[in-house]
Amino acid sequence: MAATRRLANTVAVITISHPPVNALSSSVRHALVKEFGEASRDPKVEAIVLNGSGRKFSAGADIREFGTSAIKTVSLEDINSTIEASQKPVVAAIEGIALGGGLELALACHYRVADIQAKVGLPEVLIGILPAAGGTQRLPRLIGVPAALDVIVRGRHIPASEALKLGIVDEVVQGNALDAAIQLARKVIGYPLNKKRLSTVRISSDSNLEDFLDTAVEKAKKQFRGAKAPLACIEAVRASVHLSYHQGLEKERQLFFSLWATGQPQAQQYAFFSEREAGKWTHSSGARWDTEEAKPIRTAAVIGLGTMGRGIVISLSKAKIPVIAIEQDAQQLEVGKKAVNSLLEREAEKLKQQGSVPSSNLGSVHFTLDFGELQDVDLVIEAVYENMELKKEIFRKLSSVCKPDAFLCTNTSGLNVDEIASVTHRPNQVIGTHFFSPANIMRLLEVVRGQQTSLTAIATAMNLGKKLGKVAVLVGNCPLFVGNRMLGPYLEQASYLLEEGYYPEEVDQAMEEFGFAMGPFRMMDLAGLDVGWRSRTEKGLTGAKVPQGTPARQRLGSRYSPLADILCESGRFGQKTGRGWYQYEKPGGRTGKPDPWVKDFLQKYRKTHQIKQQPSNPEQIVERCAFALANEGFRILEDGIASCPEDIDVIYNNGYGWPKYRGGPMYYASSVGLPKVLDTLEKYYKANPDVPSMKPAFLLKKLAALGGPPIKEWRTQVGKPVNKL
Ligand SMILES: CC/C=C/CC(=O)SCCNC(=O)CCNC(=O)[C@H](O)C(C)(C)COP(=O)(O)OP(=O)(O)OC[C@H]1O[C@@H](n2cnc3c(N)ncnc32)[C@H](O)[C@@H]1OP(=O)(O)O
């Protein structure tokens, strides 16, 4: 049953019942109409309380119904207007969550009581749409335009205590929200309801409000580059100022349909469900997320307190896991300790502002130089710099010091997890946990399974990711895993574009207009050019190990761009040295400006190597870079390193600044059309046979030959997950 009704004296309690999150599916909406109608007509009923089963009010509209005929049956806003117009007082008892349509339903009620643990919000913008059941019209009438705009455009989940301050809820209770709502309902029987009907409230407009909305548009254009939903949200809220409630609703509806026509909601909803699917990992043995039990992690340790290690310590502490943090010498320990403590203070401050007690919400951190102190921890994460010998030395030590069932994780961004595991007595307990910088902020975690990694270790690492609030994706062990492996051909194309006549700012601008948080050159400057340079030097691609007589722009018979190496040889490592692809105000500076030195250097380089300049074409920049990424993605699928295209997209959306409204590189390839992607790559590769990364992947050819089936069908065509080195 989608909703049930019972009588508590003269109060009817209608309970939405649609596990797991009480989404307002068509059957729930039908049930609400029926139960509410009967309660309204029942002379024994003097007031009505709405709540959700399983201590969750509602997560809003059933996202799976969008684009289907089910969404057209019984509109949520019709239900909301009926509730609002009720002559009997209606109180929402909010436990757990009231999100999207869930909050819109609660806003139609005359009163709202929330449990202290509850969160409310209008997160529609995060799935590419806007609140479309009156939310953009009722919320500004309740809490004012500026506060409502912030809630709607950011889509954040607001804790009950803040919701009370904002005026979204009338009462917050520590105990049972349902009992409190019933009590309130009884108390207000017979009170006038007019002022409680939000659709009747008037918003007074003034020029400040107009300026405020105009500024919000400009800010949103910059902040959400290319995303249409935030702008539609602002326009809908603007309508609440100028139009009657009913005209505003019509505007909300029109904006919803025009957003749908852009294709962005479909991409963002694909991204939403792909994230949920990533948690449902499968293994070639047939084992799955729901067959394997994770071990509890009560204590953890982090080795290395560089940028990554510090972020990991904070993540663990925020998940209330006590951490032991280790460094190799007293001086580095002191530096790391100061940095961690200052980050922890910031977290404690945030908790205080939310009304929580930091000491009960943050795990303790103990700093030491002594590996002996790790003997009882459940899990260790090594986060030292990328050097195989150093990592092996640490894992040897860990293997002898840690208790036999402790899990040993490496935060390598691409080294061989099996080789690291091979020096331990427990390769089955070794697993890769590749965090992204800054690790306390970035949501992505690549969990890398080695040949011998046990299913329990996989389940435990995936579960830990969830506990840390991350989206964990299980991948196979190959050089650079998934995300960084795909970055190779992408950055290669970016460099070739510079050789062929573009400048870093032009390539970055094209990719940022496409929607990337940062273009490739800004990203390299931020990450530090020296990191890749060190790795290329170790591989003999640059530096003294390159055989005499090797052409400057060729390695092992393939095309090679030495541009980044030359920059590094001139001490240009990016932001950290104040010079890289851009110039910065000072070493460590963040604001990059185009650098005349780079322009001059590129012009001389092109002249020296007699490279013909291509006519400028921003579309070509995007195609070459984005298709290079997707092509490597197809190879990764062929190799079984990622088990489905959705996992690759989750990695790019959450770790590499890919615009979510384009779904991810694989979704993008699918939406452009696989035959077109194939054709573009084929043409490029024919003209550039010395660039093997652009040779169309076998799987791409196979899928294009099948006419480019929908992305959810690709899974049937890909290999079994393996480890490939
Ligand atoms: C025309 C009227 C328009 C109305 C606009 C809307 O209401 S649009 C919907 C707005 N609501 C949201 O965007 C909420 C989306 N959901 C979440 O943020 C989270 O799922 C959650 C509710 C905070 C719960 O998070 P938690 O981590 O506890 O669980 P999961 O995310 O794993 O979700 C559990 C399963 O529930 C499915 N699900 C969640 N929300 C919805 C939804 N609104 N519609 C349909 N399904 C939903 C989710 O997919 C999980 O199911 P699986 O089968 O496991 O994938």
Q: Indicate the pairing of strand 582-583 with strand 593-594.
A: antiparallel
Q: CATH 3.40.50.720 residue ranges in the chain?
A: 293-475
What pLDDT sits at residue 114? 98
What pLDDT sits at residue 360? 81
Give the number of the atom of ligand 1 that is nearest the alpha carbon of residue 466: 27
Q: CATH 3.90.226.10 residue ranges in the chain?
A: 3-262
- Cβ–ligand 1 distance for 61 under 6 Å, the answer yes
Helices (H), 549-617: 563-569, 596-608
- Cβ–ligand 1 distance for 344 under 6 Å, the answer no
Contact 628, 488 (CB under 8 A): no
- The CATH topology of domain 501-608 is N-(1-d-carboxylethyl)-l-norvaline Dehydrogenase; domain 2 (1.10.1040)
Q: Which helix (H) or strand (E) holds 392?
A: helix 388-401
Q: For the chain, how are helix, strand and coil distributed in percent, rounded to 5? A: 50, 15, 35
What pLDDT sits at residue 722? 52
Separation between Cα atoms, residue 147 and residue 132, nearest integer Å: 18
Residue 347 among the catalytic residues? no
Both tokens assigned to 300? 């953890």
Query: What is the pTM (predicted TM-score) of this model?
Result: 0.95
- Tell me how far the alpha carbon of residue 468 lies from the centroid of ligand 1, in angstroms: 19
Give the number of the atom of ligand 1 that is nearest the alpha carbon of residue 280: 54
Ligand 1: residue whose CA is nearest its atom 28: 21
- Cβ–ligand 1 distance for 94 under 6 Å, the answer no
- Cβ–ligand 1 distance for 547 under 6 Å, the answer no
Q: Left if phi > 0, otherwise alpha if psi is -120 to 50, otherwise beta: which for 227?
A: beta
- Cβ–ligand 1 distance for 133 under 6 Å, the answer yes
Ligand 1: residue whose CA is nearest its atom 17: 59
Both tokens assigned to 725? 């080195």
- Cβ–ligand 1 distance for 124 under 6 Å, the answer yes
Separation between Cα atoms, residue 103 and residue 97, nearest integer Å: 8
Residue 95 among the catalytic residues? no
Separation between Cα atoms, residue 462 and residue 458, nearest integer Å: 6
Q: Which helix (H) or strand (E) holds 13?
A: strand 11-16
Q: What is the mean pLDDT of each run of 10 residues along the chain (725 residues)?
A: 86 97 97 97 97 98 93 91 98 98 98 97 98 98 97 97 97 96 97 96 87 96 95 98 96 98 98 97 91 97 96 97 96 96 93 78 95 97 95 98 98 96 98 96 97 97 98 97 97 97 96 96 95 91 95 95 98 97 96 97 97 86 97 96 96 97 98 97 97 97 95 82 47
Q: Is 424 helix (H, G, I), strand (E, B) or coil?
A: coil
Give the number of the atom of ligand 1 that is nearest the alpha carbon of residue 66: 1
What pLDDT sits at residue 724? 44
Separation between Cα atoms, residue 632 and residue 488, nearest integer Å: 9
Is the domain 3-262 a CATH 3.90.226.10 member? Answer: yes
What pLDDT sits at residue 204? 81
Q: Is 723 helix (H, G, I), strand (E, B) or coil?
A: coil
Among candidate residues 77, 84, 95, 124, the one labeled active-site is: 124
- Tell me how far the alpha carbon of residue 54 lies from the centroid of ligand 1, in angstroms: 15
For residue 70, what is the DSSP state?
A: G
- CATH superfamily, with its number, for domain 293-475: NAD(P)-binding Rossmann-like Domain (3.40.50.720)
What pLDDT sits at residue 725? 40
What pLDDT sits at residue 723? 47
- Tell me how far the alpha carbon of residue 534 lies from the centroid of ligand 1, in angstroms: 44
- Cβ–ligand 1 distance for 152 under 6 Å, the answer no
Cα 19 to Cα 121, 133, 466, 472, 534, distances in angstroms: 19, 21, 20, 24, 52
Q: CATH 1.10.1040.10 residue ranges in the chain?
A: 501-608
Instruction: Look at residues 237, 229, 238 and name the one whose alpha carbon lies nearest to residue 262.
Output: 229
Task: Dump the DSSP string for 42-53.
Answer: -TT--EEEEEEG
What pLDDT sits at residue 520? 98
